[in-house]
Structure formats: C-alpha cells, structure tokens
A and B are shown apart, each in its own frame.
Chain A
Amino acid sequence: NAGVTQTPKFRVLKTGQSMTLLCAQDMNHEYMYWYRQDPGMGLRLIHYSVGEGTTAKGEVPDGYNVSRLKKQNFLLGLESAAPSQTSVYFCASGVSNSPLHFGNGTRLTVT
C-alpha cells in the first residue's frame, strides 16, 4: 500500500550540479504534480501532468524540467542547480478535481 513514493528523501547539491527527483504512484492516477514548499510561501506548483506523455507549466517552472513517460512515474529534473532551488519538494497524484495524495517530500539543499 505504497501510495506516492518520492526518492531521494534528502539531497545536497553544489551549485551547477544536476539531479532528478523521482515520484512513483501505484494508484493508477492520471494527474501528477510537483510542488515546492518554502517558508511563508505555501506550496507553489512547478509542473504538472494530466496524463502519460503530457506535461504543463505551473506557477514557478523556470529552472526545472519534467517528464511523464510512464503513467506511474513523474520525474523532476534540475539541470543546473542554484541556491534559490533549496526547498522541500512534494509530489502528488490524483484524479480530476479530487483530493490529491502526497508523498513525504524531498529536502534539497543547494550550496
């Protein structure tokens, strides 16, 4: 009964390095989302996907790329990490206009 699984849980990067965050869901959900959470700013939508092979920009997409090659996976990539991308990243999945299921987050620090 895994739900939404995010890997890794923690990561420290140096400025300019790249990395990929993986989100996997086992509920056959069509919709998947990536958010970042920063103090005092709530959760801001980075990118989202309404189905396999589709992606769309959210509120703060710059500096990130995503891919949804398989329905169960949604990858978030940082090509060249910057200190401003230090944050907690949450993945979520769901069906249209229904509550989302959230992962437990990835804490990323960029030095």
Chain B
Amino acid sequence: AQSVTQLGSHVSVSEGALVLLRCNYSSSVPPYLFWYVQYPNQGLQLLLKYTTGATLVKGINGFEAEFKKSETSFHLTKPSAHMSDAAEYFCAVTDWGGKLIFGQGTELSVKP
C-alpha cells in the first residue's frame, strides 16, 4: 500500500534562507510524485510533479524537487525563501490505480 511521510509538521526559515521540506514515500510500483501548496482558506495548487525521466524537477515559484529512488525520497527545495512562500505544503504519491495519497503536510513559516 502507498504511504507518504513528511518529516516535520512545521518548518521555520528566515527570508532569503534555503527551504528544505522532506518527503519519503512507500510504493510497491514506480510512483508518480507531486508537491502541492495550500494558502490559507484556499484549495491546493500544484507546485511540481515527477512522472518519468529527469529526476530533478523544477516547479513554479522557484521550487524544485529531486526524485531519489534509492532513498525513496522526493524532498522539496528553494534556494532563497520569500515571505510569500509561507503556506502549507503537501507531498503526494500515486500509482497506476488512480489513488492519490497525501502526506500530513508541512507548514512553512518565513521570518523577516
């Protein structure tokens, strides 16, 4: 069965600092992986996705993630945090059956 674990329910960084949000997955078949962002009182928006091919994936707003099969990880990074990055971030995994499973979410705070 699929599962997703996001390490750290809350991450706080200073503006301009590196953002690193961790995600590990468990899937019995090659996964498709996604990161979504949720701003307060809104639905989820796609940041980036990994399906096949290049393991380093670039998304919107300067975010990127690297698929590491040997580590079953898909960590999200951004070189320099901006105040507008403050939101909740969700990692998700799907297999061939159409079921998309989310992690518990990581709330990112950005300090001035």
Contacts and interface: CB of A to CB of B under 8 A. Distances in A.
A64 B99 CA distance: 17
Interface string A40-64: 1111110010100000101100000
A97 B45 CA distance: 16
B94 interface: yes
Contacts of A33: 100
A56 B9 CA distance: 29
B94 A97 contact: yes
Contacts of A73: none
The SS class assigned to the B binding surface is strand
B3 to A, nearest CB: 10
A50 B98 contact: yes
Given A40-B9, A42-B90, A104 B43 contact: yes
B99 A45 contact: yes
A74 interface: no
Nearest to A102: B43
Contacts, number: 54
Interface size class of A (residues with CB under 8 A): 20 to 34
B34 A42 contact: no
A99 B34 contact: yes
A45 B43 contact: no
Nearest to B4: A42
Interface string A69-102: 0000000000000000000001010001111101
B49 to A, nearest CB: 6
Contact of B102 (A44, A96, A103, A104): A44
A96 B45 CA distance: 18
B92 to A, nearest CB: 8
Contact of B43 (A40, A41, A105): A105
Interface of B: 6, 9, 32, 34, 42-46, 49, 51, 90, 94, 96, 98-105
Given A41-B104, A97-B96, 4 more contacts: A42-B103, A42-B105, A90-B43, A92-B44
